[in-house]
Amino acid sequence: MSETVWINGEVSDGRIPVTDSSVLRGDGCFEVLRAYKGEVFAIDDHLDRLERSAAQLEISLPPRDSIAGWVHSAAEAEPDGAIRVVVTRGSALPGAEPQTNVIVFSHRWERSVEQARLALVRAPWHSGGSEWELRGAKVLSYAPNMAASRSAQARGFDDALLMTDDGVILEGPTFSMAWVVDGVIETPSLDLGILDSITRRHVIRLARDMGHEVLEGIWKTTRLADADEVLAVSTIRQVQPVIQIGDWSLEPGPVTAGLAIAFAQLVGSELSTQDV
């Protein structure tokens, strides 16, 4: 990890009070951005989503330009890695005045495997499409998702694919999902309350620009038995082939490979360097 941590724009040793809402309540939101050779990809998209999450939590943010400046400083400190922006409500003690904390730091982070093997894991904590105050917000409370990842890894898989109790496909603990059936790309609908992944958004647009039909909808896990290819997408994974889901084995395919190349080219075109 970079030695530099910014808290509300001030260089810090990274320590926050034990009374902070993130510690006592898991009450806050966050973003993970990717730096390539010191430049930040899709910063405006990430800050837009951070603002939406904070608004849903009723947390006031400092000026957007200030947060963007801290992010760029973190990219300079760790030119090729992940940048985390963590927003907390401040002290969670009764009667305390709200005092937003914005923590920014960077660290090395690469996807652990080139081809993912996923276990199906029920996610009863997921909204699954039900309306509630924080639907779609990127909040700090990821403990259930992390438990799902550990459960999958204990069974010999790389990570989990979350599903509702009645078998509807949702998302991964930290990534979005898509698959290919007879040349058509299918992906779970945002109406299910899954995260509006920025990488997912770019991949859908790229796929349509490449002439692929893309359907967003609601499918049971049995649909994956018909899939020719399955892919996981996220800021860190980018576009990653999935070669196993539960008992189903798959091969990496041309659609996934084409989207991975197109996404890398998009990142390069957005930055001053083409070599990503």
272 or 199, greater pLDDT: 199
Domain extent listing, the chain: 5-107, 116-270
Asked if domains 5-107 and 116-270 share a fold, the reply is no
Residue 70, Cβ density class (10 Å: 0-12 exposed, 13-18 middle, ≥19 buried)? buried
- The answer to whether residue 4 scores a pLDDT higher than 60 is yes
| pLDDT bracket for residue 2 (50, 70, 90) | low
| pLDDT bracket for residue 109 (50, 70, 90) | confident
9-13 — which CB contacts under 8 Å span 24+ positions?
9/62, 9/66, 9/69, 9/70, 9/102
The pLDDT of residue 112 is 77
Q: Are 254 and 198 in contact (CB under 8 A)?
A: no
Output the CATH code of domain 5-107: 3.30.470.10
- For 212-249, the pLDDT digits (tens) are 999 999 999 999 999 999 999 999 999 999 999 999 99
Token reading at 160:
């989990």
- For 123-153, the pLDDT digits (tens) are 999 999 999 999 999 999 999 999 999 999 9
The pLDDT of residue 156 is 98
| pLDDT bracket for residue 199 (50, 70, 90) | very high
The pLDDT of residue 110 is 77
Output the CATH code of domain 116-270: 3.20.10.10
Token reading at 221:
């896990």
Residues β-bridged to residue 109: none
Mean of pLDDT over the chain: 95
Q: HEC profile for 132-181?
A: CCCCCCCECCCHHHHHHHHHHHHCCCCEEEEECCCCEECCCCCCEEEEEE
Neighbours of 214 (CB within 10 A): 15
For the whole model, what pTM was predicted? Answer: 0.94
